[in-house]
Structure 1
């Protein structure tokens, strides 16, 4: 692990980390409004499912593909006020979404909202790394759980505040964007102070960005981590997108009951996110990655063959285990390339979102062709790809 004992951040900056978590929560809440509003958009503008898919593709392009690009840009030219700049894009996009009157206007709106996400994830993850005071796992877990909370609150707020009154009420979410910008102000001041400190001590910056592995080994390790992200998010997509349909089809539960069982799974993902990072601080990232993904396989492979009660229990175990992996994977990658924090954060967030989006579409087609149970019989084997974690070098020893 790269040592940073001479870092200007000697202690974990909890106020900054809490502000980052709240910012992440509000950002992901605004992002989730798009998919939650699809039924309203489809009805208001008489959209086809193909057009809904096109809107999703445009959003994924800006929210996922652009993340490594924005991360690389801010790696080369760090800007203390990058977070409010990104949130301003989200604010403009949300207001535009509320009043769009045709497909092209909608696509421009979601594209602008996606740009806000492309700025926040790599930049906020970078600042989280810097503000950790060495406790990077704990810091990253705090940041990640904010996003989990925001993603689950968005659809609920759309159902309560928008659906009964009309799509124009989406514009009220601009208030949350303004609150997010206000929350980001102390983060920006802290980051500006950090950057000024490094400018005064250029040798300190060089020490903090020393890479632990050779270029060849670093590229290999990043490739292994991307395979692990691939396995994790394909299986997670099967649960977040189709778990309720699976429960209704196989066990005959009501829609309300299926939502409760989905909530149990989401609680597990939040708990796993909070625990994975701190455990990685103590025992090493590789161990957490290995256990989190490969350790999910027994639960995922058993789940299609048990009754309702054990399905709910196993889904909790799956959510807890798998969600603990991402903070460890991201931190491992950041420690491989401490001089490219934005690029790495953007690459892994963008790849995760992209895989989740593509997997949802592919699994939907599979469910149409072969049945919803086939999705879980096939996806149950994805965590076995966790075996590739064996090839990761142990950075904790270094």
Structure 2
């Protein structure tokens, strides 16, 4: 049954239809997974108050969470490109369940770090295979499919302020343990996804093996592809460092500069994250229509005016600018994943691990670095300098066009 081949370079006619049911379920699982991850930064104001942690210590917690995910995602992607592992999905969420349970009852700084390491490991296992499921179910609408998958994750992250305001503020640290219920639901859904995924593998193992062997040779097709991948990663780093700075530290800035309560400051962060999730959803379909390079360039450069002025305007205007910056910046989130996957065809998991995983990693390094800078020069100064990071988006003009990437793929066959 060649029509069921996994990860075809050029999908057969029967594979062109987009499997929305699978996409919505894996997107929902992504939402649940990342909502659990969002509990960690959402707890920062609680931990800072109850344990007296410094900005540097909070940055180390974020580093512990994200660096494990960063280091392991490309590794998991590389391994599963060679041997897909459908049931790694529910197993990964089980690690996350253990981590969030530990976080709710951790009595020391060390136990908190250990708990977030488990959450990071679960995320590392989930993301590459989740992205592969989205690719397999995409048909010929890869931008849309990746957007549905990624918007789930960004929506989960956007829940952090709500989690803080409704659960963590009234309940404190132990409120995190409630999310074991969320993790258990995700495990159940992922068992269903894993069964579907496994059925696809069983349906045409010979074709899958033939494809994986032939496509594996495309990993090093040319020096131009490597240079382009480097540019994409640099753009991702700039985007992630900015997002990390806003996500982890802007609430403290809003509390200090605008005299807001913790609950009120969470509304600013919520606006940024929700608008980013909406931008993630629209970015994929827009890239299917206008081209990936166009959307990537737009998302970085059009963010600059808002990111620069956010620290210099009154709170109402800052709120509006955060919404616009979040929406525009994140339109490229799913697009960069698909761009990298098409740049190096046949390595879906590896490219997802590099683009999404390294994004987490750079966010981790950025969290520690920005936390140190905030302790050194002051939080307001750090937030002001943060606004210039999107200027690195100028290098997007150096990216090859979508047509050029397709030509490279044809030449490498």
**TM score, norm. by length of structure 1:** 0.88
**Partners of 2:47 and 2:371 in 1: how far apart?**
21
- What's the counterpart of residue 288 of structure 1? 295
Counterparts of 1:257-296 in structure 2, within 5 Å, are: 257-296=264-303
2:30 alignment partner, one of 5, 13, 24: 24
Partner of residue 334, structure 1:
341
- Using a 3 Å threshold, how does the CA distance of structure 1 residues 7 and 230 change in structure 2: closer, same or farther? farther
2:304 paired residue number:
297
1:389 to 392, 396, 409: 396
Question: What's the CA shift for 1:84?
Answer: 0.6
Task: Provide the residue aligned with 1:131 in structure 2.
Answer: 137
How far is the alpha carbon of 1:184 from its aligned partner? 1.4
Deviates more, 1:280-289 or 1:194-203: 194-203
Is 1:76 aligned to 2:74, yes or no? no
Q: Determine which of 186, 195, 199 is the counterpart of 1:180.
A: 186
- TM-superposed deviation, 1:83: 0.5
How far 1:167 moved relative to its partner? Answer: 4.3
**CA offsets, 1:10-68, max 9 Å, x none?**
21110101111111111112222234345666788x57547655544433332221111
Change (3 A) 1:92 1:257: closer
Query: How many pairs does the alignment contain?
Result: 396
Give the Cα–Cα distance (whole angstroms) in 1 for the partners of residues 339 and 217 of structure 2: 14
Aligned-residue offset at 1:253: 4.9
How far apart, CA to CA, are the structure 1 residues paired with 2:144 and 2:202? 26
C-alpha change, 1:212 and 1:187, in structure 2 (3 Å) is same
Structure 1: 5+ residue stretches without partners: none
Tell me how far 1:119 sits from its aligned partner.
Answer: 0.6
Match of 1:33 in 2: 39
Alignment of 1:215 with 2:222, yes or no, is yes
Q: 1:164 & 1:157 partners in 2: Cα distance? A: 10
Q: Which runs of 5+ in 2 are unaligned?
A: 1-7, 407-413
Do the aligned residues in 2 keep the contact of 1:244 with 1:258 (CA within 8 Å)? yes
Point out the more displaced range, 111-120 or 242-251.
Answer: 242-251
1:197 to 1:8, Cα distance in 2 relative to 1, 3 A: farther
* CA gap 1:167/1:76 in 2 versus in 1, 3 angstroms: same
Which residue of the partner structure matches residue 411 of structure 2? none
**Structure 1 pair 47/76, CA: closer, same or farther in 2 (3 Å)?**
farther
Deviation at 1:239, TM superposition (A): 2.1
Equivalence for 1:322: 329
Structure 1 position 240 matched with structure 2 position 280: no
2:104 corresponding residue in structure 1: 98
- Residue 59 to residue 228, structure 1, CA distance change in 2 (3 Å): same
